[in-house]
Amino acid sequence: MDTPQKLVKTDCEEILHRFQQQESVRFEIFSKIWREMKFSEIFYGLPAQHEKRKFSRLILDTACSYLLPPYSFQIRVGGLYLLYSLYRCQTFSPPEQIRVALKDWEYVEKFEKDALEAKHLDVVYILHQLMCFKAFHFTAMPTLLTFQKKRQKEKPRLCEGFIERASRPQELINIELLEELSNIHDIYGKLKTSASLMSEDAPTPVNLTHKDLIPKLRSTVVDFYTWQQKRIESDEEDYSGEGTSSQQESSKRAEKLAAIKSRAFGQATEAAKSRRHRQVEVDLTSNQAGPSNSSGHTRLSKPSLKVRTNENLHISSDLWKEATATTKISRLTALDFVPEEKPKKNYRKSNKKVKTAKEST
Amino acid sequence: MAASKPSADASSNIPDYEYAEVNTKPFHIGSFRNEWLKRLKPGDFSFQLEDEETFDANFARELRVDAETMAEIKSICSLDSLRCHPEDQQPDTNVVPDDPTLKTLIQRKKRQDYRATLKTPKNRHDLFTDELERAAIGKNPETVTNMIAEGELLLTVNVYYPPVVEKFQYVRPHMTLLMTGSHSLAELRDAICCVSDLQVCGEFSNTPDIAPDFISKDHFKSAFFFFEGIFYNDMRYPECQDISMTTIEWAKTHNFPTFSQAKMEDTRFADLKVKVGFPYLYCHQGDCEHLVIITDIRLMHTSDCLDKRLYPLLTHKHRVLTKKCAVCHVYIGRWFTTNDQFAPSNPCLFCDKCFRLLHYDAQGKKLGDFLAYPYVDRGAFN
């Protein structure tokens, strides 16, 4: 069974995802989705007072994280609306408050400024309403800390789709900066040539600047931007293909796994015992061609140590020849040179057997 | 006074994680409060609620919004727009609605259905927690002098029971106290109730009536808190000793960083420099050691208890199983006897009433031969 934390998170993400799809920051849109999902009911069915408080605490803490970076502005607006709606819909009084930590407060202030500049009056109004209702606890840390060390850290799962794309390179390297750079570049070049002209006995000047720095910089940023755009598009395609609810996703994954398993088992039982390893070999290749490979089930096969050393060691040609020659001689003189191939082959087969056995389990 | 000075660097007083979600870096509590107050308008942390009309007027003026737009925004953002049920019928909020779609509700529905099959609808722990909560919330004093000042700090302090029983290493039993920033550490000390303070040493079979006059709290008054390399000793009474000296001396001879001392009663929470979420130590009665964790620090809120006299405020207490009298099995044991010819076992536990009825005659004369020691149950504070 999933923990309440996870369930609350999926519910919050669901409403924010629907809000994101509307591509709006209006409260009307949000409240419509809220009503459609009957989100107020999330507080129902908790008879004991302390249970209610505990749950309110949990859901407010969860929702509060969407108000803060690294999420995009739209999601943060959604997060604010979510907090406001949750705060107002609590079924007991006095309600639980929203905890903001001192280190996060600057983000809230910045967010308010952004909303003001963009004239999103409903966003500002709701933020002010929350302040007016004294809905915030001004705290040291977002949660109560009791030195609960976790043996296995669960990474805070950020919802990828909500995160703002990095735009720092584009912001930093704009047209003005490029112009400025090229000006400085020219001036520097001129200065240097004049300096070298004045002192004629000086050796050829050290060349510290790239000639084509500016066009290169520009093209790099443009490349980055197009790459980013492409990725967004492909991401969206993936997302629409997979469907919205996480349940579908997980069931798909389960199906995939089941398919892989059945294939592996089926093939293994069909083959005669003596020929099983061959059969399995075929199975492996077909697996690799299929889409199941992407699920990360097959292990990354490293090239052997010998191959790697050959790649990494660059011995000058003479030495190399000598080395191989000596080994050839030694091998020729050695008695059992011929069966050298055999154990290797055996090893490969057994290795694959192990691999497939692992996969089928 | 050896409490650490507020450091000049402002950013160091903005708490941040040392280990994510475990504890913070050390910061000065008083300066932390100042940082918040610097960022907020006085109205933001005041206890007065702004009424709606002044809010609307202020909002319209600040953003230069005309009346029409204002009305529109108000209607859009009103609470009615969030209502999920028809206006005329109020749903029962204590049951999960039918056919829920939200994941949380689906799970809660399952649990509710399961609970309905159980025989006991409400357990006493729920009742107890609710009761403690009611005691804490939204109590305002009648007089202004007992009112807590606006912008005061509220600290949540967990004091853990010493892990003398093996089980305590896993369940972490503790009490939770709410303190304000202007409380001294001595006040925290007085609020901590621990049974080792109530212990009575000695054999009292001949004079059972005078036993309660000799509790350890009155005999051994020394105690200390340890926060961030400083021992805060209780030196309020002439018989108090600096019991941290032993540790400090030992540390000196073993190449440990040097520790310093300060007085508990002169140190307010606001003067401390601590890590939130980090375990510190409270030691009393020589070797009764409690972990102390400051789990939360925040500005006081209008819905908190605002009566100064009610602090330190207890909000959570672990309930310990009590040992009952061997005779009546009703009352908690108060006497512990050995070599007792009347007792079914050796040693044996009696409540006060059964002990006296069994061991003394009507004139209070001791009958038979036995040794009696006062016993304080671990759950005496339940």
Q: How far is CA A334 from CA A125, A325, A340, A344, in A?
A: 89, 14, 11, 18
A257 pLDDT more than 70: no
The per-residue pLDDT for B131 is: 73
Are B343 and B308 part of one and the same domain? no
Q: Is A147 close to B16, i.e. CB distance below 8 A?
A: no
Q: How far apart are CA B275 and CA B18, in angstroms?
A: 9
What are the extents of the domains in chain A? 4-144+158-164, 169-200+207-245
Confidence of residue A349 (pLDDT cuts 50, 70, 90): very low
B125 within a domain of the structure (yes/no): no
Q: What percent of chain A has pLDDT over 70?
A: 60
Q: How far apart are CA B69 and CA B82, in angstroms?
A: 20
Quick: pLDDT tens for B35-80. Answer: 999 999 888 888 888 888 888 888 888 888 888 888 888 888 888 8
The per-residue pLDDT for B10 is: 56
Are B228 and B346 part of one and the same domain? no
Phi, psi angles (nearest 5°) of residue A170: -65, -40
The per-residue pLDDT for A254 is: 62
Q: Please give, rounded to a whole number of angstroms, the shortest distance from the CA of A349 to a CA of chain B.
A: 47
Inter-residue contact B45 to A102 (CB < 8 Å):
no
Average pLDDT over every residue of B14-43: 90
Inform me whether the C-beta atom of residue B184 falls under 8 Å from chain A C-beta atoms: no
Quick: pLDDT tens for B82-94. Answer: 888 887 777 888 8
Q: How far apart are CA A130 and CA A124, in angstroms?
A: 10
Considering only the beta carbons, identify the residue of A49, A122, A145 that sits closest to B77: A122
Which residues of chain A are within 8 Å of residue B81 when distances are taken between CB atoms?
27-28, 31, 35
Quick: pLDDT tens for B218-252. Answer: 888 899 999 999 999 999 999 888 889 988 999 99
A173 pLDDT more than 70: yes
Inform me whether the C-beta atom of residue A47 falls under 8 Å from chain B C-beta atoms: yes
Inform me whether the C-beta atom of residue A105 falls under 8 Å from chain B C-beta atoms: yes
B139 within a domain of the structure (yes/no): no
Amino acid, single-letter form, for residue B282: Y
Are B301 and B343 part of one and the same domain? no
The per-residue pLDDT for B310 is: 87
Tokens of B22: 């475990």
SS3 state at B27: strand
Are B355 and B227 part of one and the same domain? no
The per-residue pLDDT for A352 is: 46
Are B309 and B367 part of one and the same domain? no
A35: left (phi over 0), alpha (psi -120 to 50) or beta: alpha
Considering only the beta carbons, identify the residue of B84, B85, B107 that sits closest to A39: B84
Quick: pLDDT tens for A280-331. Answer: 443 444 444 434 444 444 455 667 777 777 777 665 555 555 555 556 655 6
B261 within a domain of the structure (yes/no): yes
The per-residue pLDDT for B233 is: 93
Are B339 and B313 part of one and the same domain? no
Quick: pLDDT tens for A141-170. Answer: 998 888 887 766 666 566 667 776 667 777
Are B348 and B275 part of one and the same domain? no
Inter-residue contact B50 to A134 (CB < 8 Å):
no
Helix (H) / strand (E) containing B314: strand B313-317
In B217-276, the residues whose Cβ lies within 8 Å of chain A are 276
B51 within a domain of the structure (yes/no): no
User: Tokens 């903001």 — which residue?
Assistant: A100
The per-residue pLDDT for B2 is: 41
**Mean pLDDT in chain B?**
85
Cα angle for residues A22, A28, A30 (degrees, 5° grid)? 50
- Which of A9-13, A56-60, B161-165, B337-341 shows the lowest mean pLDDT across its residues? B161-165
A262 pLDDT more than 80: no
Of B266, B289, B317, the one marking the end of a domain is B317
Quick: pLDDT tens for B282-327. Answer: 999 888 999 999 999 999 998 888 888 888 888 888 888 888 999 9
Confidence of residue A51 (pLDDT cuts 50, 70, 90): confident
The per-residue pLDDT for B92 is: 81
Are B249 and B168 part of one and the same domain? yes
Average pLDDT over every residue of A268-287: 43
The per-residue pLDDT for A3 is: 83
The per-residue pLDDT for B270 is: 93
Q: How far apart are CA B354 and CA B343, in angstroms?
A: 11
Instruction: Annotate A291-360 with DSSP letters as a single string.
Output: GGGGGT-SPPPPPPHHHHHHHH----HHHHHHHHHHHHHHHHHSS--GGGHHHHHHHHHHHHHHHHHHHH
- Return the exposure string of B53-90: e unless at least 16 CB atoms fall within 10 Å of the residue's CB, then b: eebbeebeeebebeeeebeebeebbeeebbebeeeeee
Instruction: Annotate B95-137 with DSSP letters as a single string.
Output: SPPSS--SHHHHHHHHHHHHHHHSS-SS-HHHHHHHHHHHHHT
Inter-residue contact B138 to A94 (CB < 8 Å):
yes
Quick: pLDDT tens for A181-230. Answer: 888 888 888 888 887 777 665 556 566 677 777 888 888 888 888 887 77
Are B163 and B311 part of one and the same domain? yes
B163 within a domain of the structure (yes/no): yes
CA dihedral sign of residues A314, A318, A322, A325: positive
Considering only the beta carbons, identify the residue of B16, B27, B277 that sits closest to A146: B277
Inter-residue contact B311 to B152 (CB < 8 Å):
no
Inter-residue contact B313 to B132 (CB < 8 Å):
no
SS3 state at A238: helix
| Cβ neighbours of residue B371 closer than 8 Å, sequence gap 6 or more | B203, B205, B337, B338, B339, B340
| Other Cβ atoms within 10 Å of B156 Cβ, number | 21
Are B151 and B252 part of one and the same domain? yes
The model's pTM is: 0.71
Q: How far apart are CA B74 and CA B52, in angstroms?
A: 11
B193 within a domain of the structure (yes/no): yes
Inform me whether the C-beta atom of residue A114 falls under 8 Å from chain B C-beta atoms: no
- Which of A245-249, A330-334, B103-107, B184-188 shows the lowest mean pLDDT across its residues? A245-249
Number of domains in chain B: 2
B112 within a domain of the structure (yes/no): no
Amino acid, single-letter form, for residue A236: E
Average pLDDT over every residue of A266-278: 44
A81 pLDDT more than 90: yes
The per-residue pLDDT for A84 is: 94
Tell me the ipTM for this assembly.
0.86
The per-residue pLDDT for B188 is: 94
Inform me whether the C-beta atom of residue B120 falls under 8 Å from chain A C-beta atoms: no
Q: Is B84 close to A41, i.e. CB distance below 8 A?
A: yes
In B76-115, the residues whose Cβ lies within 8 Å of chain A are 76-77, 79, 81-85, 91-97, 100-105, 107-109, 112
Q: How far apart are CA B276 and CA B228, in angstroms?
A: 11
Q: Please give, rounded to a whole number of angstroms, the shortest distance from the CA of B260 to a CA of chain A.
A: 25
The per-residue pLDDT for A78 is: 92
**Mean pLDDT in chain A?**
73
The per-residue pLDDT for A227 is: 82
Q: What percent of chain A has pLDDT over 90?
A: 20
B87 within a domain of the structure (yes/no): no
Residue A76 Cα to chain centre, angstroms: 19
Are B257 and B181 part of one and the same domain? yes
Q: Please give, rounded to a whole number of angstroms, the shortest distance from the CA of B2 to a CA of chain A.
A: 24
Q: Where are the alpha helices (DSSP H) in chain A?
A: 4-21, 27-37, 49-64, 73-88, 102-117, 121-132, 168-172, 175-198, 213-242, 246-270, 276-289, 305-312, 317-333, 341-360
A359 pLDDT more than 70: no
**What domain range includes position B242?**
147-199+212-317
Are B292 and B259 part of one and the same domain? yes
